[in-house]
């Protein structure tokens, strides 16, 4: 495990304005040895990271109120967040693929989430 990531205490932050999506991700991650923290919008994620300064992975839905996934990821980078940032989206156009790179996403996970691939990505970090 990367020592930079280890200092974040195996915390996974999930932001999605759809409670059903959050519950689905929780079910997929049920056997992962990590603390799961959930939020309904990107601003709550920023506030959490600023206050607690811990998370191994931040998983962001792209379409959310207040701060969308792109804005949240860019803001996380601005405040010095060092963990991994994953996007979860049903949208994947060529224009968006460039925007994912510009906004510092480490991975883009397409909906519907493929459990095995998703867990592999998580386990590589945790």
Phi (first) and psi of residue 80, to 5 degrees = 90, 20
| Residue whose C-alpha is closest to residue 83's, from 16, 21, 22, 11 | 11
Q: Does domain 10-114 have CATH number 3.40.50.2300?
A: yes
36 C-beta neighbours (distance < 10 Å), count: 16
Q: Where are the domains of the chain?
A: 10-114
Structure tokens at 99: 């925007």
pLDDT confidence band for 123 (50 / 70 / 90): very high
CA distance 84 to 126: 10
Mean pLDDT throughout 38-66?
95
pLDDT confidence band for 4 (50 / 70 / 90): very low
Residues 6+ apart with CB under 8 A from 59: 12, 13, 14, 15, 25, 86, 88, 109
> Which pLDDT tens digit goes with each residue over 65-98?
999 999 999 999 999 999 999 999 887 667 778 8
């Amino acid at each position: 495990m990367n020592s930079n990531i280890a200092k974040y205490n195996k915390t996974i932050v999930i932001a999605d304005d759809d409670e059903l999506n959050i519950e689905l991700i929780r079910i997929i991650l049920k056997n992962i040895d990590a603390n799961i923290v959930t939020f309904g919008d990107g601003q709550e994620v920023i506030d959490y990271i600023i206050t607690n300064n811990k998370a191994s992975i931040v998983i962001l839905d792209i379409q959310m109120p207040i701060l969308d996934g792109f804005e949240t990821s860019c803001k996380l980078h601005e405040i010095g967040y060092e963990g991994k940032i994953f996007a979860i989206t049903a949208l994947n156009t060529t224009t968006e693929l460039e925007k994912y790179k510009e906004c510092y996403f480490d991975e883009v996970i397409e909906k519907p989430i493929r459990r095995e691939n998703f867990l592999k990505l998580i386990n590589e970090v945790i």
